[in-house]
Amino acid sequence: MTSSVWHPFTQHGLHEPIPLVVRGEGAALYTADGARIIDAISSWWVTTHGHCNPRIMAAIREQTERLDQLIFAGWTHEPAEELARGLRAIMPENLTRVFFSDSGSTSVEVALKMALGFWAAREEPRHHILVMEHSYHGDTIGAMSVGARGVFNRAYEPLLFDVTVVPCPVEGHEQAAFDALERACARGDAAAFIVEPLVLGAGGMLIYTLGALAEMKAICERHGVLFIADEVMTGWGRTGTLLASEQAGISPDILCLSKGLTGGSLPLAVTMASEPVYMAHYGTDRASMFFHSSSYTANPVACAAANANLAIWRDEPVLERVADLKKRQSAMLASLARLPGIINPRQAGTIIAFDVETKGATGYLADIGPVVRERCRKEGVLLRPLGNTIYVMPPFCIEQDDLLTIENVIRRALVGD
């Protein structure tokens, strides 16, 4: 029987194979027909400590014996309280409040609504959002509005709200980006600037400098524009530190976290906010509360998984694993970068990426992507190039043998033998 499942980012008319996965362990997935597949992209950037991490699985099992779900408006539960305390202890000190939701996209929607609520409470007419070129913040209407426009959202474009796009401050082009941000801030109607710190993920693993990130934060601060850090992908060690923004020595006013929050095991997100953002919604007037909820806000089982993730960060040498993977990834990049037709090799922490020179179409729909993806799948590696950009972002626990297999499979796929 054919499947009725409609998959995300999938053109079903191409009838590309859709493998059935039955089990995951560490950096590996196992398909129904017995193949072992190395997960080279952490199942779309979520899995940090490996699939089915025993500590996270145990925490989930234990929580399911106690409480499955609870309305979170006006009620609370220990897993959420514990998680809020745990996040407060490790996230930037100025981020005093934790608002829960269930995906990266919703954490961004929440951040945008908080920023607008902040200015509404001050009765200052600031509703404009500043964004960085090539950014990605999710696929809901608001998140798409603040992300790059392209083939992915052409059909929905009429519904997307207007934003001001600031160039990405790639090395050598920083000043143009600063000037554009300065001008946009100076207009006086900007509520917030939303950025992916250090690495623009879905935009093609583009990396910009920490100095530029710090300078952009300083510009926003001078103009009182709220700084929203979307660390949905860059958070939880991916770039070598817990957060990418900490490498630039900055603390955002609003922080979005998801993906690795539960170690990549269950859907959960938080939007952390500074005290002024929270206080803008605080008072005795019901009309000024923060009007947002989703049914599964702070689901107890997902919170328990996140608490287990935080415990792993507390008592296991996660940053050492990250540093070790960073070194091994660096070696793989150096080796692959020697292949003909490979340009722009780059790395941020555990993430490596490079572009493949193509004769035909470039961008997201470049032909090379699906060809490399299919070749890798056949050889037991889960890889999903972004157009002609190939990147590797494995779980931190990946063994060297598996990393070498990824390298060899990519090499064979590129030289085509």
CB of 201 to ligand PLP, least distance (A): 4
From residue 30 to residue 69, what is the string marking binding to ligand PLP with x (rule CB under 6 A)? ----------------------------------------
In the window 127-166, what residues touch ligand PLP (CB under 6 A)?
136-138
Other C-beta atoms closer than 10 Å to the C-beta of 90 total 11
What strand order describes the sheet that includes 342-348? 342-348, 351-356, 389-392
> Judged by CB under 6 A, which stretch of 53-61, 97-105, 212-220, 300-308 contacts ligand PLP?
97-105
CB 397 within 8 Å of CB 386 = no
Q: Which amino acid is present at 237? A: G
> Judged by CB under 6 A, which stretch of 25-33, 86-94, 230-238, 270-278 contacts ligand PLP?
230-238
Q: Is 407 in the site for ligand PLP (CB under 6 A)?
A: no
Q: Is 108 in the site for ligand PLP (CB under 6 A)?
A: yes
CB 395 within 8 Å of CB 27 = yes
- Cα distances from 332 to residues 318, 325, 369, 402, in angstroms, run 21, 10, 19, 12
Among 63, 258, 274, 350, binds ligand PLP (CB under 6 A): 258
First and final C-alpha spacing in the chain: 35
> Judged by CB under 6 A, which stretch of 227-235, 292-300, 329-337, 394-402 contacts ligand PLP?
227-235
CB of 390 to ligand PLP, least distance (A): 17
CB of 188 to ligand PLP, least distance (A): 28
- Residue with Cβ nearer ligand PLP (168 or 280): 168
* Nearest by Cα to 350 from 185, 214, 205: 205
Q: Please enumerate in sequence order all residues whose Cβ is within 8 A of that of 268, keeping only pairs 6 or more positions apart, or say none.
A: 100, 102, 258, 261, 262, 298, 299, 302, 303, 305, 306
Q: Is 281 in the site for ligand PLP (CB under 6 A)?
A: no
Q: Which amino acid is present at 284? A: T
Interacting residue ranges for ligand PLP, rule: CB under 6 A: 103-105, 108, 136-138, 196, 201-202, 230, 232-233, 258
